[in-house]
Structure 1
Amino acid sequence: MVIGNIIIMLGLSPLMVLNTDLVVASVPPEKTGAASSLSEMSSELGMALSISIFGIIGTAVYRHLVAGYIPNGISQETGQAVRDTLAGAVTVAKSLPYDSVLEAAKHAFLSGIQVVGGVSSILLLGLIVLYLTLLRDVRR
């Protein structure tokens, strides 16, 4: 995870610095503090919202897919634990004599991650198109 975060930050840090520089350079010198704080706040808000929205999407996909694989013979609380999280499914699967619940939960979790990746890719492509069309005439 540390190596993955290092790679992500190596890609994100220059963009974040460039974004702040663009925002601060676009306002008069007496308003640079306010522009910088607004840029930082909107960046933090965007990250928090995207984490929550993508988390909701991933969880919805997981719950939808795993619901059909919960065996009929288990209690409602146990079934709810499987539906809630992958960790709950792993815990429940340890007490069951078969692995179908665990395999279904793994598949549903990975499918949720794939859907989130697909939605992210589509949004990124949309932002690229928006950037290229709206900022085409902006002087460099």
Structure 2
Amino acid sequence: MLISELEKLTDTPARSLRYYEAQGLIEPQRLPNGYRTYDHCLVDRVIQIRGLIGSGIPTRIVRQMLPCLDKPGTITAPEAGPEPLALLMRERDRMTHRINCLTRNRDAVDSYIAAVALASSPPGTADAA
């Protein structure tokens, strides 16, 4: 697929996709005319990369994590030291906190939907729960 297709499928600007390429996070093939062509398997990878970067993880660490994105993978971390690991642990804990908050918010939305549905149903049609 061309970069415009990957851009649409991942909601990622072409500029970002080119940056990911420059950082060694994705690797397109080149057509004879010089256009980039992307394998469909990069759709999930780009979405994961965006999520990791959006979580505050620098691209240099995301690059080290690439084998974890393509399971099963062989993890080698010759550049991993205490600082990147501490950063990853902080970011993981922050993600866990956000997940917990999102879960509580989703549950609150579900409760609200149920209450509104119950209140707006005609008398005598509500399920006895």
Q: TM-score, normalised by structure 2?
A: 0.38
The structure, 1 or 2, with the larger RCO (C-alpha pairs under 8 Å, 6+ apart) is: 1
The structure where helix makes up a greater share of residues is: 1
Q: TM-score, normalised by structure 1?
A: 0.36
